Structure 1
Amino acid sequence: MALASIFEKIVGPEANIAFMAYDGSKAGPDGADVCLEVKSPIAVAYLAQAPGELGLARAYVSGHIDIHGDMYTLLDRMWNITTNDLSTAEKLAAVRSLGMKPLLMRVPPPPQEMRQSMLARMGSRHAKQRDAEVIHHHYDVSNRFYAWVLGPSMAYTCAVFPSEDASLEEAQFAKFDLVARKLGLKPGMRLLDVGCGWGGMALHAAEHYGVQVLGVTLSRQQAEWAQKAIAEAGLQDLAEVRFMDYRDVTETGFDAVSSIGLTEHIGAANLSSYFAFLYGKLKPGGRLLNHCITRPTGTEKTFNKGGFINRYVFPDGELESVGHLIRQMEDLGFEIRHEENLREHYAETLRHWCANLDATWEDAVQEVGMGTARVWALYMAGCIVGFERNKVQLHQVLGVKLDDAGHSGVPLRPSRDWP
């Protein structure tokens, strides 16, 4: 069987994708608007040794597969691979189709991949040193690169679009403001922002609500960028961002805690201690807003820990259902006061990030290298598919630490229309 036809068979002949290969073979419909080009035998070896999502990703990141046309369109049509991966039977069939020779080739993964053997040398899962290295792997790529992709807000979490035609900056402002209103922030309050990134929430809370904010991040580059932004905004008396593990924060008595995009890095085994730590940082009546990506249900057996996202993007990342997170919070004393799913908003956020990367592609490649730029293009387009097809969700959960008399301090009805 011709090589292009084998790839078409693996991806699915109904996908409306064209294929061409270095052996001169072609497959798929004539005039298809997207085409997958197999450029060398190394691409075949990658697929033979890891049939499905991971093998295709390795071949693309390393430059042995090229994509002609829109990445999102390609992945949307390949959604069974990009969001579910192939079944064991399909993987065996792929190996048989490709033959034994590609299995015997020595083809190390691209350098952008973080393998389990590398992580194991850094300690047990979610040990402080290992967490620090994992965060460094993803977030210390280049502040300039992130600025091109994320835009002026430097917000690397799901935005909240007040209207379909809202800009990304408007939507990120709306997200931070929604968090602030849910937390009931007022001048003179103290806010702890764990996993603060480039300081977007800290800056927003200090500037617009007069709150004293401490943000912490495990990324040195993020902390340096945030501290500079705080100084440029003249907010040094209100906001501070530290390069440190949230577990090393010694201050207590906060009026509010925001956790925006950190829970995914905590690990299922550590959720109880995580929420207990945050509970202990709050005053009676204090609120926690937890904003994170989740699994759609609690029935999935696993979250593809050996797949592309875990190896290239978020090593050691773990997702749980919102029901599981709420139960953990409740069992530790939080009263849950509000919850909402922002799944469609994250798909829209990612579309803006993909457009930003496309618009600055040549500069991005010059800054971080072709392989890393391709990781980002692939991961963000694939995540759009995941959120659109309800393979992943984004939830905000608001919890309150009641006082000794059981008072929450939450108004009978939320003010200023949240959500």
Structure 2
Amino acid sequence: MTGIDGVVIVGAGPVGLFLAAELRLADVDVTVLERRTERPPITKGVAMHARTLELLAMRGLAGIFLHSGVRLPGWHFGFLERRVDFTGLDSPYPFVLSFPQDRTEAILEDRALALGARIVRGVQAVGLEQTDDDSVRVITPDADFGAAWVVGADGAASTVRRLAGIDFPGTEATFYSYLGDVVADAPPPPGFNVVNDRGAMMVAPMPGGLHRIAGYDPERQQAGRGALTMDELRETAARISGADFGLRDPKWMTQFDSATRVAATYRSGRVLLAGDAAHMHFPAGGVGLNLGLQDAMNLGWKLAAVSQGRAAESLLDTYEAERRPWAEDVARHTMAQTALITATTAEGLALRKLLSDLMGTLPEMNRTLARRLSAIDVAYPPPNAGTGAHPLTGTRVPAADMPDGRPTTAEPTPGTTAIVRPDGYVWWATDDPSPDLNAARAALGVAF
């Protein structure tokens, strides 16, 4: 196995495909293994937040999403009556974009293939062997795939995580939620959601004339009961909201629970985790897909540099150090939202009204939630921030043109020159009017 190079990614969902494309920008050999023979025609994630759109724009990809997505100026937090307002975000994309995940996967698969990634479908990983210091082998029933690195992007039930012996601590499910992507002949106004003593429901428009109906029904909390039938969804909608909205022709219906977990580590030897393989949570706020794509953007350039010998392996340690705290933050936020969504008692409804009113009377509270949900406030301050690093180091750059994934220079504020990392964060900055950029690049520890 000595001398094997390249990366094997297990999982051809959005995270695995985006990571494959990022690695191919640096000409890293990439093979993506996927147990499904075809892309599933379902739409798990529909919300694309501002920071994700900024990252896609850096690679010249945002336009295809913006062209046919539905722009929503507000989004719910725990189904509160007062919406989180995104229109004031300091971003070129001050909204939530509703865009179906199956189309996201198609776009990212086309990109990965165009850049030269190899995608092998109908292949199930059953074993994982790290036999020496510079290679790892993914074992399948019909063939083995050797590489210098393996990334598990194979979802919350990740086989790679289990085979690598990485713990997945967290909380067990406390309730079950329903979801249906359906046609609604008489839909409510945009932004509709309701929580009362009969349950909780939200209705969100989707491209293609569908609506997503989701929420909490205290009368249907049996574990393992499966998705609601169409008749059950209409009955649930009528009981909770007072109308069945003319629901019909479901494209996808499912049940999901509130289990919340974050991997104990994002790396074990030459195996790394990304996306839902590294974290799972209730889909409140529509942040899951975004969290995973941001993992891929953070890991891609680092793994490329290490696999090509342009950086020491210690660079990979920064992937977990930077991304895991934000996964834990999302876990806390989504758990808080589940408490609000299921607050159907008189006391719970009183708490909901108090918080909703505060969001209206305290603009800063609303802005804080908008920045958190959109990931605009994500930053990666260096560990030595107090020992001379420029204050801008690790902060987000809203717009940077990096279609080939190479670092670039920018002026985030007047009088400041910065080198921007391939994932759109300030890597190095100075207020020196005549900086020595070559010396700065050399000091970063990654060969350009």
The verdict on a shared fold, with TM-score over 0.5 as the criterion, is no
Give the structure with the larger strand fraction: 2
Give the structure with the larger helix fraction: 1
TM range (shorter): under 0.3
**Larger RCO: Structure 1 or Structure 2 (Cα < 8 Å, ≥ 6 residues apart)?**
2
